[in-house]
Amino acid sequence: MSPEELERLLGDPYDEAGPYGFAAAVARDEQDAFPVELCAALREADFHLDYLPEEWGGRFVSFEHSMLLVRTAARRDLNVMPGTMFGITAATCLALHGSPEQRKHAAGILARGGAVGFALSEADHGSDLLANTARLTPVDGGWELTGEKWMVGLGRRCEAVYLVARTGERGPGAFSAVLLDLPDGAGRYERSPAVPASGMRGIDFAHLRFDRFPVPADALVGAEGQALESVMKAQQVVRVMSMAGSLGCADTALRLTLDFAARRRVGRTTVLRSPYPRREVAVASAALLAADAVALAAARGIHVAPEVFSVWGCAAKHVVAESTEDALRRCGTVLATRAVLRTEGPGGGLFQKLQRDAAIVRVIDTSTLANLRAFAAQLPSLRHFGGEDREGAERAVREVRTVFDLTAPLPPYAPDRLDLTARGHDPVTAALPHTAPDVLARLTADGELTTADLVTRLVTAVGGLPAELAGADRDTGPVDLAERYAWLHAAACCVHLAWADPARATFTPAWLGACLAYLLARADGTDPRREAAALLPAADLAVELHAANRLFSVLPVHLA
C-alpha cells in the first residue's frame, strides 16, 4: 500500500460526516474512545502488516515506506499508531532473540490484528531500569513471576506480553525476558483499569500485576541475562516509528494554522501576511521541514548503517520530537485564543488533541533526558566527528550517498547488525567536510550567499565538536553537548540531501537555508526568530505544499 492509496481509502479528513476524518477523531477523544472503526478499516487493508517481516506474514518493505504510511495515517488521528502497531517493540525483541516457536506464536497474534504487549517499566524506577524489582523466581518446571509492570500499551487487551524481569542480582545481566500468554480469567495476575493520560485518549495503558504467576520454562526468550541488550536494540527501531507520530501531529497542526491565518483578516491584510504571525508560521514551517528531512534520513539510515544507529536514532528522535513540539507551540501562538477552545477552535477542538497527543509520543519510547543520556554516553567513542582518517571518511561518504540519494535502493534491514554503542564514526557528521564543498560551490555560483554562509557555519561547528567534548563539564556537559550534536547532525542531514539529490525540485536554496537557519539556532541555544530572513521562505514553501494538497515533506505524497 502506498500513502496515496491509504489516503484514498480513508477519504477527505475534513468531511465532518466521514468516519475517518478530523471530526470523528475529536469525537472519540472527547469520549476517551478507542478508534475501533478506523483501526478495523486499516486492518482490513493490511496496514497493520507493514512493520512485520514477510516470514511473519507481514508486508514490510523498508522503514522509509513504513514511516510514511504511519505518518500519513497519524495526521488524522495519532491513535492509529498504538491501535495497530504497538506490537512493534515486542516483535522486534523477538526477532532479535526469540525462538522460532515464539516468533511464530507472536506473528500469529499480530498478523490477525491482535496485540502483544511490551512490559519493561516500573512506576517506582522510571528510566532507571537496573533498579526494577519484578522478579522471576526459579521453581520446578520454570519460574514464578511477582511484581508490577507500569503503563503497558494496550495492556487491557493484549493477548500476550513480552516482559522483562529480574533473574539475577546486579547489572544489566540480571534481567531476562519471557513471552507470556495472558488469557482472560487466569489467576495470579490482574490488569489495572486503563490509566487516563492527557493524550492518546482511548488507548488503554494499563498496569500488569503478578503474584507468583506460573511461567513455564519455554517462555524464556533467548538466554538468561540477555533481555536488556535486546530491549535497547529494539528501542532504536521504535524511535523511527515514533517520529512518524510526531510528524503526523505537526503536519495537521500547521495545516489548520495556515487555513486560519489565510482567512483571518487584521486590518487590510490577513494574519498570514502580518509580520509577527508570519514569522511564527515561518519558524513552525522550517521546524517541520527540517524534522521531515531528519526523520527520512534516519528511516533510510537504519538500513545502511545499523551499527551506528544507537547514535543516529537518538539524535533524530531528539530533533524530531523537539522540532515538532516547537512547531505546535508556534502554531498555537498564531491561533491565539482559538488554540485553547474545545469547540470553536480549528477543527472543532482538534488542535488541542494534537498538542496532547504530540506530548505523549514525545516520551512514548523514552524520556527526553534518558534519550540524551544514552547519546551522551557514546560521544567519546565517536572518533573524529569530521572524519579525519581517510578510510573512515571514504566509508562515510559511500554510506551517506546511499542514504541521501532518495532514488537509491536500500539494502535489506539487518536487525542482527544493530549495536548498543556506535564504535567509530557517525557517517552523517564524518562525511560533511567531503560533501559540503560541492553544495557551497553551487550556492556561491548561484549567488545564494546567505545559505552558503549557513553551510560554512555548520562545517565549522561540526569541526569544533571534539574540542567541545574535551572541555565539557563532567556533570552536565556531556548531555548539553549531546543535544548540540543532535541539532548539528540534523543540519548535516539537510546538506547531504542537497548534495546527493541536487536535481530534486524540493531541495532549493530557500529550503536548505530555512532548515539550516532553524537547526543552527537550536544548536546554539538561541531563538530561531533571530534568523527570520532565512526562515521566512519556509512559510511560502509550506503554503505551496498545502495549496498542492501535499504532505509537508521532501517526498511528493499527495493527500486526499
Q: Are 129 and 171 spatial neighbours (Cβ–Cβ below 8 Å)?
A: no
Q: Could you read off the pLDDT tens digit of each residue along the chain, which spans 560 residues?
A: 899 999 999 999 999 999 999 999 999 999 999 999 999 999 999 999 998 989 899 999 999 999 999 999 999 999 998 888 888 999 999 999 999 999 999 999 999 999 999 999 999 987 788 889 999 999 998 999 999 999 998 989 999 999 999 999 889 999 999 999 998 766 788 999 988 888 889 898 999 999 999 999 999 999 999 999 999 998 888 888 899 999 999 999 999 999 999 999 888 899 999 999 999 999 999 999 999 999 999 999 999 999 999 899 999 999 999 999 999 999 999 999 999 988 877 788 899 999 999 999 888 777 888 888 888 888 887 765 554 567 777 888 999 999 999 999 999 999 889 888 877 778 999 999 999 999 999 999 999 999 999 999 999 999 988 888 887 777 778 899 999 999 999 999 999 999 998 878 788 999 999 999 999 999 999 999 999 899 999 999 999 999 999 999 999 899 98
- Alpha-carbon distance 36 to 513, whole Å? 43
Query: How far apart (Å, rounded) are the C-alpha atoms in residues 382 and 353?
Result: 40
Query: CA–CA separation, 416 vs 71, rounded Å?
Result: 26
How far, in whole angstroms, is CA 214 from its chain's centroid?
Answer: 36
* pLDDT at residue 383, as a whole number: 62
DSSP 554: S
Q: If you compute the radius of gyration of the chain from its CA atoms, what whole number of angstroms results?
A: 23
In 10 A of CB 186, how many CB atoms? 12
How confident is the model at residue 410, as a pLDDT?
95
- N-terminal to C-terminal alpha carbon distance within the chain: 15
Any idea of the CA torsion for 80, 83, 84, 85, to the nearest 10 degrees?
Answer: 100
Strand, coil or helix: 56: helix
Residue 548, judged by CB atoms within 10 A of its CB (0-12, 13-18, 19+), counts as: exposed
The domains of the chain, with CATH numbers, are 3-109 (1.10.540.10), 114-225 (2.40.110.10), 230-547 (1.20.140.10)
Q: Give the global pTM.
A: 0.93
C-alpha cell at 462: 561540526
Give CA–CA dist 395/404, Å, rounded.
14
The residue written with cell numbers 477523544 in the block is 29
DSSP character for 220? E
**HSE of 431, CA atoms in CB hemisphere, 13 A:** 27
| Dist CA 247 CA 299 (whole Å) | 13
With beta carbons less than 8 A apart as the criterion, state whether 492 and 432 touch: yes
> Is there a contact between 412 and 303 (Cβ–Cβ < 8 Å)?
yes
Q: Are strands 135-139 and 205-216 parallel, antiparallel or unpaired?
A: unpaired
Question: What is the reported pLDDT for 385?
Answer: 57
Amino acid (one-letter) located at 225:
G
Kindly state the cell numbers that stand for 129: 531500569
Residue 329 CA to its chain's centroid (Å): 18
